[in-house]
Structures are given as C-alpha cells and as structure tokens.
Amino acid sequence: MNFDLSDEHHMFVSAIERFAAPIDVAARRRLRLSPAGYDRARWTQLADMGLIALAAGADAGGLGGSAVDLALVAQAIGAANAPDPLIELGILPALLLERGGAGAALEGVLAGTTIATLAWTERGQRYSLNATGMKADQNADGFALTGEKTMVPGALLADLFIVTADVGGATACFLVPKDAPGLCLRAYRLADGSIAGELTLARTPATARLALDNAGLAAMAADMRLYAAAEMVGLSQRLLDDTLAYVKQREQFGIAIGSFQALQHRLVDCYARQEQSRSMLYRAMLTDRADAATWHRAAAGAKAFIGENSNAIAREAVQMHGGMGITDELAIGHALKRVLVLDRLFGDADTALADYALAA
C-alpha cells in the first residue's frame, strides 16, 4: 500500500506546473477570449511534452500511460488551473481511436498535428450515450451521416470529428473530417471559455467507422468520468488553497477574516470534502479494471461524489472571496466555471449517481 507519487509522477506534475505557470489569470482570459477559445501552438507544445501520447499504448505509437498516470496528469492540469482541454481533445480521442483501430488518425492526434473531437451529445438525449438524432446509412461507398449534435468540444479547433450515430438501433462511431460535404458547424462559447459547437450533418460521408461497440463507448465514458473527476480534484485543491491564502491575508475590522470561527468551521468542511475527494479519486483510479462493471461503477461514483464536493468548495471559495470572487480576475472564477463544465461531462451528478446506485 502506497499513496505517494512515484518519481515519474512527480516529473509529469512538475512538467505541467512549469508549462502552466506563465499563464496567469490575465493570460488565461486572453486565451479564452480568442476566437477559438484556445491556441493551436500551445496544443502542439502540450503534445510535444508527450502528454497526449500517454493515452495510447506503445504499440499504437503512444507512451503507454496507465489510468493512474492519466488521472494524475488531469489532476495536475486542474491544480494549475491550466486552460488546456487535454482530457476532451487529447485523451478522449486518443483512447477512442486506439481502441477503435484508427491508427493513422491516432498518429496525428498523438503528435498534436490533428485535433480530433467526439460529437456525442444530442439535445433530446441529454447525457445519454445513445445516438438517436444522428443516423448512419450504409451505401456503396460506406456510411453517410445525417442529423444533429450539440456541445461538441473544441468545435473551432477540430480537424476531425468522431461522430456517434445510430446504425440499426446500435450506436457506432464514425470519422468525419471538418471539410466533409454537408457538414455545418455553429460555434458557441461554454462557461469555461472553450468553444463548443452544434454540428449538423446532411448525408455527410464518413471516412471510417471505428471498431467500437456500445460497450467500448461505455468504457470510454467511464475513463472520461475518472479524468474529469481527477481534474476537478485538482481544481478544488486550487480553490481551497487560494481561499485559505486569501482569508489569512484579507483583513476586516482590523483582523484577518480567517480568524472568524464561522469561516474556520466552513473551511474545515471544505478541507474534509477535499480530502474525501482525493481519497475517492485514488480509490477509483486504483480499482482493478479486470471486471468492467466494477470499474465503471467506481468511476461513476467518483465523478458524482467529487463533482458535488468540488462544486461546494467552489461556491464557498467565491463567497469567502467576497466581491473579488465574482470577478473574472482571479483563478477562483475560472476554476468554478471549469468545475461546472467538468461536472456535466458524460453525465451530471444525478446521472452519474444513478449509474453508481443502479450498478450495485
């Protein structure tokens, strides 16, 4: 039994800290306010650090990082309040393309030269993975896709869309390049400053179908729940640390507000939540993956639990920062908004909690 980071883990974490350090809040705002909500050059640097390649096995050209490695990386991204959509645009497509056998596309994704994104959300399906509003019809040349998706991450960065669609009642994944005929994208901004999109396809030909069934999609969602939870643990640590620092230096009535007992007890509640979140993250990331049901359940539970705790810590962080907390000028607001987005990635707290409870 050992909960200390290995030397290699320490290396990842410090690499991310160094990478994120120059991006202060003002720089983060500028980056997020840019048209695509992010910077492609920065993405290349991230890939060059090998952080995307961690998500794929050595056979597939990756660095073969484990779920533990990836979770610790995601946590470090959160703790640094980094603006990088590593989990949505890096880990997620890498996992899907490797597991779906799309080696050529994977290579570009790992190198950071291709940005791929998964289009799965449908308005009428809320957080369900079942595609019903996008149909794939087989023809002589392969598949053509028709339908609508919403909340497609990184819409203005993506070169390649991985689109879930209904094929005779099952949900399958198809590759559609951004310049495919019939593809129409309407971009909009999300709470974390990233740009998402509504994607409409009209008889748009897919360049490939991934070798991935519903179970494969469910496994990807479980992975993503873990990494979203990990990033939230990092974010809430940052929120708590910044708030502790603030209440120690902010004075009212001649004394630091951190000396008020009512705030102290609430901060202890936040601390307890954070320690419990961290424990739950460790539990989920160290769960044996031999049995898919057990591991999916652990990921669902961790996401529900950590999402609730991180939101609670974020709200307290804002409240204790007073007026400063609701500006866009501190990490606090940025972290709160990122938590709101991650908490709803592949299911909000109600959805994830129900998945956990029903899998018992």
Site for its own copies in 248-267 (CB under 8 A): 260-262, 264-265
279 contact choice in another protein, its own copies, none (CB below 5 to 8 Å, kind-dependent): another protein
Phi, psi for residue 226 in degrees, rounded to 5 = -60, -45
DSSP 6: P
326 contact choice in its own copies, another protein, none (CB below 5 to 8 Å, kind-dependent): another protein
* The token pair that represents 256 in the structure block: 């630091």
280 contact choice in its own copies, another protein, none (CB below 5 to 8 Å, kind-dependent): another protein
What does the DSSP assignment read for 132-154? -SEEEEEETTEEEEEEEEEEETT
Using DSSP's 3-state secondary structure scheme, residue 77 falls into helix
331-360 residues near another protein, rule: CB under 8 A: 333-334, 336-337, 340-341, 344, 348, 350-351, 353-354, 356-358, 360
Which uninterrupted H or E stretch holds 108?
helix 103-111
14 lines the binding site for its own copies (CB under 8 A):
no
Cβ-contact 352, 303 below 8 angstroms: yes
Q: How far apart are CA 273 and CA 290, in angstroms?
A: 29
Q: Which is nearer to another protein, 146 or 351 (CB)?
A: 351
Q: Which is nearer to its own copies, 268 or 293 (CB)?
A: 268
174-193 residues near another protein, rule: CB under 8 A: 186, 188-191, 193
Cβ-contact 156, 197 below 8 angstroms: yes
Nearest to 112 by CA among 182, 41, 162: 41
Q: How far apart are CA 200 and CA 146, in angstroms?
A: 7
75 contact choice in another protein, its own copies, none (CB below 5 to 8 Å, kind-dependent): none
The minimum distance between CB 161 and another protein, in angstroms, equals 17
Q: Bridge partners of 175?
A: 162, 208
111-150 residues near another protein, rule: CB under 8 A: 121, 123-128, 150
75-114 residues near another protein, rule: CB under 8 A: none
Nearest to 100 by CA among 108, 92, 89: 92
* The token pair that represents 154 in the structure block: 């990184």
Using DSSP's 3-state secondary structure scheme, residue 133 falls into coil
290 lines the binding site for another protein (CB under 8 A):
no
When binding is defined by CB under 8 A, the residue of 268, 291, 292, 293 that contacts another protein is 268
Beta strands 255-256 and 116-119 are unpaired
137 contact choice in another protein, its own copies, none (CB below 5 to 8 Å, kind-dependent): none
41 contact choice in its own copies, another protein, none (CB below 5 to 8 Å, kind-dependent): none
The minimum distance between CB 261 and its own copies, in angstroms, equals 4
58 lines the binding site for another protein (CB under 8 A):
no
How many chain residues interact with another protein (CB under 8 A)? 86
* Residues of this chain that bind its own copies (CB under 8 A): 260-262, 264-265
